[in-house]
Amino acid sequence: MAYVLSPTESTESEIRRVATERLDDAIGLLDGLTGSEPAEIEEAVHKVRKRCKEVRGLARLVRPALGLKFKPFDRAVRDAAATLSSIRDAHAILATFDNLRAAQAGSATTELDEVRIGLAALAADATIQLQQGDTRLAVARALLAVAKEQIDDWTIPSGFSPLGDGLHTTYRDGRKGLRRACNKTTDRRMHEWRKAVKYLWYQIRLLEQAAPSILKPLINRLDDLGDALGDDHDLTVLIERLDRDPHAYGSPKAVKRTRRLAKKQQRELRKRAFRLGETLYVEDDQAFVARIKAYWKTTLKRGEERPAGGITDLIDSAPETRTTADRGLPDVADSGKTIERERKYLVDSQTDPADVGAALGEGIELRQGYLAVDTGVAVRVRDAGPEGCTLTIKAGGGAVRTELEWSIDQAIFDEAWTLTGERRVAKTRYRIPFGEHTIELDVFADALDGLIVAEVEFDSDEAMARFDPPEWFGLDVTDDMRYTNSSLAAHGLDERDAG
Q: What is the pLDDT of residues 121-132, one digit of tens each?
A: 777 776 666 655
499/495 Cα distance (integer angstroms): 12
Question: What's the rounded mean pLDDT across residues 34-43?
Answer: 72
Q: Which of 9-18, 21-30, 98-107, 437-446 has the lowest mean pLDDT?
A: 98-107
Residue 499: band (very low, low, confident or very high) from pLDDT cuts 50, 70, 90:
very low
**Would you say the C-alpha torsion 186, 187, 190, 192 has a positive or negative sign?**
negative
**β-pair type (437-444, 452-457):** antiparallel
479/133 Cα distance (integer angstroms): 46
Contacts (Cβ under 8 Å, ≥6 apart) of 321: 315
Residue-level length of the chain? 499
400/440 Cα distance (integer angstroms): 17
Quick check: 338 pLDDT over 70? no
Question: What's the rounded mean pLDDT across residues 393-421?
Answer: 85
Domains assigned to the chain: 11-296 (1.40.20.10), 332-495 (2.40.320.10)
DSSP track, 417-463: HTTSTT-EEEEEEEEEEETTEEEEEEEE-GGGTT-EEEEEE-SSHHH
Question: What's the rounded mean pLDDT across residues 468-478?
Answer: 89
pLDDT score for 425: 93
Contacts (Cβ under 8 Å, ≥6 apart) of 238: 93, 96, 97, 100, 258, 262
Is there a contact between 210 and 295 (Cβ–Cβ < 8 Å)?
yes
Active site residue 370: yes
**Exposed e or buried b per residue across 471-493, where buried means at least 16 C-beta atoms within 10 angstroms of its C-beta:** ebbeeebbebeebbbbbbbbeee
Question: What's the rounded mean pLDDT across residues 220-236?
Answer: 94
> In one letter, which amino acid is 102?
A
Quick check: 498 pLDDT over 90? no
Between residues 306 and 195, the one the model is more confident about = 195
Is there a contact between 83 and 136 (Cβ–Cβ < 8 Å)?
yes
Contacts (Cβ under 8 Å, ≥6 apart) of 343: 399, 455, 456, 458, 464, 467, 469, 476, 478
Is there a contact between 427 and 410 (Cβ–Cβ < 8 Å)?
no
pLDDT score for 129: 65
Is there a contact between 412 and 390 (Cβ–Cβ < 8 Å)?
no
Quick check: 194 pLDDT over 90? yes
Q: Which of 101-110, 327-336, 478-487 has the lowest mean pLDDT?
A: 327-336
Q: What are phi and psi of 384, to 5 degrees?
A: -110, 30
Overall pTM > 0.85: no
pLDDT score for 363: 82
Contacts (Cβ under 8 Å, ≥6 apart) of 82: none
Q: What is the pLDDT of residues 437-461, one digit of tens each?
A: 889 999 998 889 889 999 999 888 8
Closest CA to 340 of 136, 484, 163, 146: 484
Is there a contact between 156 and 11 (Cβ–Cβ < 8 Å)?
yes
Quick check: 320 pLDDT over 50? no
454/474 Cα distance (integer angstroms): 9
> In one letter, which amino acid is 246?
P
Q: Tell me what percent of the residues of the chain surpass a pLDDT of 70.
A: 85
Which entry of 171, 281, 295, 370 is annotated as an active-site residue?
370
pLDDT score for 182: 96
Q: What are phi and psi of 369, to 5 degrees?
A: -130, 155
166/17 Cα distance (integer angstroms): 18
Residue 107: band (very low, low, confident or very high) from pLDDT cuts 50, 70, 90:
low
370/399 Cα distance (integer angstroms): 21
Residue 313: band (very low, low, confident or very high) from pLDDT cuts 50, 70, 90:
low
> In one letter, which amino acid is 164?
G
Quick check: 497 pLDDT over 50? no
Is there a contact between 17 and 135 (Cβ–Cβ < 8 Å)?
no
Quick check: 329 pLDDT over 50? no
